[in-house]
Structure 1
Amino acid sequence: MAKKPKKSAGNGGTIVVNKKARFDYHIDDRYEAGVMLAGWEVKSLRAGKIQLVDSYVILKDGEAWLVGAQITPLNTASTHVVADPRRDRKLLLNKRELAKLLQTIEQQGHTCVCTSLYWKQHLVKAEIATARGKKDFDKRATEKDRDWDRHKQRIMRH
């Protein structure tokens, strides 16, 4: 008899979410991309040692690269390897998705950012999105809405 699959944790396999990207940009289209990682990086991801705050995606030579993501090496896992925590990591997309991304990014004011990393079975996937930069008044409106939502929750509790 086969074993029943383990139920995932309440976070749905999410490793990290780039909240700053959602605050700084209007998110348009989302894509799922595989990430090429070394062994020590996977172990660090399982421990949650990653930051996506200043990361972005660039397209060069027909390939997508994740730049600026910092994966802190574990002391126990990377003893025999010289670990570079801020190295560029290749994203795996098919040609059609790459062409669509390139076409969108070439438009004025659009960029490509990594919004989250998550587990899909045993693989690490990146959710990348095309985005437009927000103006300062848009950011203030976002903060105002968040404050109002918090205030509503407090009122509903009492």
Structure 2
Amino acid sequence: MAGKKKAKDTESAGGTIALNKRARHEYTLGDRYEAGLALQGWELKAIRAGRANIGDAYALVKDGELFLFGAQITPLVQASSHVLADDRRTRKLLLHRHEIDRLVGRIERDGYTLVPVALYWKRNKVKLELALAKGKREHDKREASRDRDWQREKQRALRARNKDA
């Protein structure tokens, strides 16, 4: 019984490391994929300390492989001194071949962009959630903002009505 509890604890011990909140505002997000990251030791230590940022990151296909550009993982001062740490280095993304082929087709044929949405823990491994995205135009952003405001007002009105009743 204790073994099951321990296995469940490691699954729930995961959590969000970094979110790309701007992606939801700038893009219309479509299909989502979960990718692993090829990291170095110092990067893993820095991520555990919460020093990761994917706000300016994007993913590209290069020679049939996916790579993450622009993600910042700030090195710790205590990390190995014999390693020259580059906080914005290109990192390889790990996906199955059929997923990569599907993504390549959608990117080249349909004009989608691969945007990292979230960086999180899953069973003691760092995973990156990627979304196929299309850029929003300015009027789309205004419409989304108007819808958000309307939903907020509607919730307030319903709460006030339920409170009075």
TM-score (norm 2): 0.84
One-letter code of the match for 2:23? A
Percent of matched pairs sharing the same residue: 54
CA distance in 1, matches of 2:19, 2:151: 21
For the pair 1:57 / 2:75, whether they are aligned, the reply is no
Q: Which of the pair has more CA radius of gyration?
A: 2
| Structure 1 range deviating more: 21-30 or 104-113 | 104-113
- Which of 146, 149, 160 aligns to 1:147? It is 149
Corresponding residue for residue 89 of structure 2: 87
Q: Which residue of 2 aligns with 1:102?
A: 104
Distance in 2 between residues matched to 1:76 and 1:151, nearest whole Å = 49
Equivalent position amino acid for 2:55 in 1: V
**Matching residue of 2:27:** 25
- Return the structure number with greater helix share: 2
Task: Give SS of 1:32's match.
Answer: strand
One-letter amino acid of the structure 1 residue matched with residue 107 of structure 2: I
CA distance in 2, matches of 1:77, 1:146: 43
Give the alignment partner of residue 41 of structure 1, picking from 33, 36, 43: 43
Deviation (angstroms), 1:118 = 0.9
Distance 1:52 1:145 in 2: 27
Gaps of 5+ in 2: none
1:152: how far off?
Answer: 4.5
Aligned residues: CA RMSD: 2.0
What amino acid maps onto 1:111 in structure 2? T
The separation in 1 between residues aligned to 2:109 and 2:141, in whole angstroms, is 22
2-side partners of 1:138 and 1:152: how far apart? 21
Shift, 1:142, TM fit: 1.9
Gaps of 5+ in 1: none
Aligned residue number for residue 126 of structure 1: 128
- Equivalent in the alignment of 1:111: 113
Is this contact kept in 2: 1:109–1:133, CA < 8 A? Answer: no
| Bigger Cα displacement from structure 2, 137-146 vs 115-124 | 137-146
Answer whether contact 1:32 1:128 (CA < 8 A) is retained: yes
Q: State the distance in 2 between where 1:77 and 1:122 align.
A: 20
Q: TM-score, normalised by structure 1?
A: 0.88
**Any conservation in 2 of the 1:31–1:128 contact (CA below 8 Å)?**
yes
